Every structure is written in C-alpha cells, then in structure tokens.
Amino acid sequence: MCHNHGVAYISPGVVEVQSIDYPKLALGDRKCEHGVILQIVSTNICGSDQHMVRGRTTAPAGLVLGHEITGLVIEAGRDVEFIKEGDLVSVPFNIACGRCRNCKAGQTGICLNVNPGRAGGAYGYVDMGGWIGGQAEYVMVPYADFNLLKFPDKDQAMAKIRDLTLLSDIFPTGYHGAVTAGVGPGSIVYVAGAGPVGLACAASCHLLGAAVVMVGDMIPERLEQAKSFGCEPIDLRSETPLADQIAQLVGVPEVDSVIDCVGFEAKGHGAGADAEQPATVLNAAMTITRAGGAIGIPGLYVTGDPGAKDKAAQEGSLSIRIGLGWAKSHSFFTGQTPVMKYHRQLMNTILYDKIQIAKAVNVEVISLDKAPKGYQDFDKGAAKKFVIDPHGLIPN
C-alpha cells in the first residue's frame, strides 16, 4: 500500500501533517468508477482554509484540508473515457456531478448531488459533503470527465505551473467577482481586500479592461503588492474616509463596481479599528457604488460562525443597510464561483502570456512539511500565496 500524508485541522490555530489513508476509487462502500486518483503536483493554502483553522467555523478536528488542487492522473476508473493516466489536470474546487439540474445549467458551485446537507460540495471543507482535501500527496477526484481541466501540453504547463495552480480557485473566483460586478473596459473599480483573492480579482479587473482599480486593505505589505502591478492602494487604517480617498483619486466619491474579497471576518475602517465589524465591507460597498452599479461578493460568508462576538453574527445574520442598496438600485452577486465557467479561458490567458497571475498574488512554493508554518505566516497577513509542492515536482 502506498503512503499518503495530508494537512489536518486539529484545533483553532493548529494544523498538522499527518499520515492519512491512501485514496481509493470508492464512495463509501461502493466503487467510484467515474473517478480518478491524482498525484498532487501543487495544492494551495486558501483564505477560506484559514477561516476554519482560526476556529471560525464548525469544522471538526481531523479534517484534511485543501480544495485548490492540480495533479497527475495515476489511476482512472473504468467509466472515465476522456481523461487518461498521465494527464496533468486542474481540479475545480467545486465538486460537481454534471448530471443534476444545476450542473446542466452551469451552476457547478451548487451541485445537488455531491453533498447530502445542502447544495454545493468542495474538497476538504466544512459542511461541503465530507470530501477528503487535497493538501496531501494523493487525492481521489470523482466525476473526472466532467470536472477536470486537462492541460494540452504537459511540459508547457509545468513551466507555468505557478500560474496554472491558481485555476482551481482564486483566479476564477477573483475573475467571477469582477464579472458579476460588471467590470469592463473603462470601469472604475474598488476591490475590498488585498489577500490572494483580492489581488487575483484586481488583476482580473485589468484583464477585463478597467481604467482604475483601487484596492483597500489594512496591511501595508499587501497594499504594496497591489501597487506593484498597477493598482491604486487604499489604506483603510487612514482617518480619511474611504469615499474621500476614492474622490482624491478619481474626482468623485463613487465607483462603478465593488468586489468584496474579504468576507465575514471584516474589521472596521479607520485609525485603530481592530474590532471585527462583519458588515463593514458590504455597507461601505453600498455607500461608494454609484446608483445602478453592481457589487460582486466572492468573499466568504457563513451560516455558522462560533467565533463571532454576537449571537446574530454567529448565525450569519449581519446588520446590512439593504435599504441603501435598494434605493440605489444595486445588483448583488453572491455564492461560490462556478469555476468551470471560466477556467479554460483563463488557462489560455496564462498559456498565451496575457496575464502573470502568480506574480500578482506573489506565489511562494513550500514543501508539504512546511504547511503549518505557511498557515501561521498567512494568518499574520503575509503578502503571499502559499503553494504546497508535496513531491518536489515544481521547477525552480
């Protein structure tokens, strides 16, 4: 039997690399002939993982983490027709059956058949169907023909693997946030949050033709990273209100589009604002978005937050100024990104050098045994995207 190791959530603030079962082509007691087993080439630490590791979800101890996966097919079930052993593939973080009403409509983030608890499934994530995560050496992927994106040239893909690894989640997620917020040629845009998703979103806004992309955060290193590829940094620690900072840059205190890349652990704005105010970003978005504008919300909001300070927030209820959004005829777009809607096109932007997404989010490759430290550094606000290389396959 082959060995396998994975990154497991132990308790708030603690993850460990543990020996875990080698994957089987099985779903419980029945064979999974539509699945494949992957040798992991790259698997990334995500801000969504960090919510669990901070103890801000109902994630159980022992959960193997990781929903951002790129790998080599080393075994395929007999019902897999078009994906072959030896293929290098990107795995959307959404697990989708390809058969249900939602999948057939392209809404793969809310598949009806992969999670008995609710619509939508994902690898290594709380309340998302119990699927084993991919921050490991090997993982099983179901419905392979439908889910997997095969890279057309393995050598070409490995040369750009630092970029292509981001196709499993944050590049499509950032892009989806921009698209749903109506970003296009000449748009004036504000991106809330300069973590990896926010930076990927900002780069996507440039790709879509935005004229000005402003990125707000409280961590100077992350703002410098945003500035490094042409964004206008907005320091949310400043005593100058957000709308006034925007007016200083574009002449008016409003924008066409806002993308919330922060989510439910948002903090208040202004000098010394360290306390959590989970509705801050959404309310600020409605304040600065022009009448008739749109707000994309790829940032994570949860139905259960045991670490929240008040009972309402623990149940995902926030004090949102929906009346303001209604009065300004805003459009709001929420939910998991349907990665498959975008990943092939975004792959081509990478392969044909239309974007340097790894540079934008500042990818740093680490070994599997360094994953716990990666989580610690990320939690401290490192302006990096940590990519785990379990087998030492990523070229220097």
| Cα 71 to Cα 78: distance, rounded to the nearest angstrom | 19
Q: What is the pTM of this model?
A: 0.96
Q: Does some domain include residue 27?
A: yes
- Token pair of 63, please? 């959960």
Q: What is the per-residue pLDDT for 272?
A: 63
* Cα radius of gyration rounded to whole Å, the chain: 20
Q: What is the per-residue pLDDT for 320?
A: 94
CATH number of the domain that residue 145 is part of: 3.90.180.10
- Token pair of 298, please? 């790829």
Q: Is the model's pLDDT at 256 over the cut of 90?
A: yes
Are 196 and 291 found together in one domain?
yes
- Token pair of 265, please? 């652990």
Are 131 and 200 found together in one domain?
no
The answer to whether 80 and 36 are in contact (CB under 8 A) is yes
Q: Where are the alpha helices (DSSP H) in 148-241?
A: 154-159, 161-164, 170-180, 196-207, 220-227
In tens, the pLDDT along 148-195 reads 999 999 999 999 999 999 999 999 999 999 999 999 999 999 999 999
What would the mean pLDDT of 234-243 be, rounded to a whole number?
96
What would the mean pLDDT of 112-131 be, rounded to a whole number?
96
Of the pLDDT bands very low, low, confident and very high (cuts 50, 70, 90), residue 321 is very high
Of the pLDDT bands very low, low, confident and very high (cuts 50, 70, 90), residue 68 is very high
Q: Is the model's pLDDT at 2 over the cut of 80?
A: no
Are 179 and 120 found together in one domain?
no
Q: Does some domain include residue 396?
A: no
Q: Is the model's pLDDT at 64 over the cut of 90?
A: yes
**Among residues 287, 307, 333, which one ends one of the domains?**
333
CA torsion angle for 104, 110, 113, 119 (degrees, to 10)? -150
Shortest CA distance to 362 belongs to which of 66, 162, 135, 92? 162
Q: Does some domain include residue 53?
A: yes
| Cα 213 to Cα 217: distance, rounded to the nearest angstrom | 13
- Token pair of 250, please? 């574009």
Q: Distances in Å between the alpha carbon of 357 and those of 123, 336, 349?
A: 23, 20, 10
Q: Does some domain include residue 152?
A: yes
Number of domains in the chain: 2
Q: Is the model's pLDDT at 31 over the cut of 60?
A: yes
Q: Does some domain include residue 94?
A: yes
Buried-exposed string 108-124: b where 16+ CB fall within 10 A, e elsewhere: bbbbbbbbeeebbbbbb
Q: Where are the alpha helices (DSSP H) in the chain?
A: 47-53, 101-104, 144-147, 154-159, 161-164, 170-180, 196-207, 220-227, 242-250, 280-288, 311-314, 322-327, 343-351, 357-361, 371-379
In tens, the pLDDT along 94-110 reads 999 999 999 999 999 99
Q: Is the model's pLDDT at 248 over the cut of 60?
A: yes
What would the mean pLDDT of 375-393 be, rounded to a whole number?
96
Are 152 and 222 found together in one domain?
no
Are 246 and 283 found together in one domain?
yes
> What is the chain's mean pLDDT, rounded?
96
What would the mean pLDDT of 42-46 be, rounded to a whole number?
98
CATH number of the domain that residue 278 is part of: 3.40.50.720
Amino acid at 139: V
* Higher per-residue pLDDT: 194 or 272: 194
Q: What is the per-residue pLDDT for 268?
A: 85
Q: Is the model's pLDDT at 1 over the cut of 70?
A: no
Amino acid at 191: V
Backbone angles phi, psi at 367, to 5 degrees: -80, 165
Q: What is the per-residue pLDDT for 315?
A: 87
Q: Which domain holds residue 51?
A: 5-169+339-388
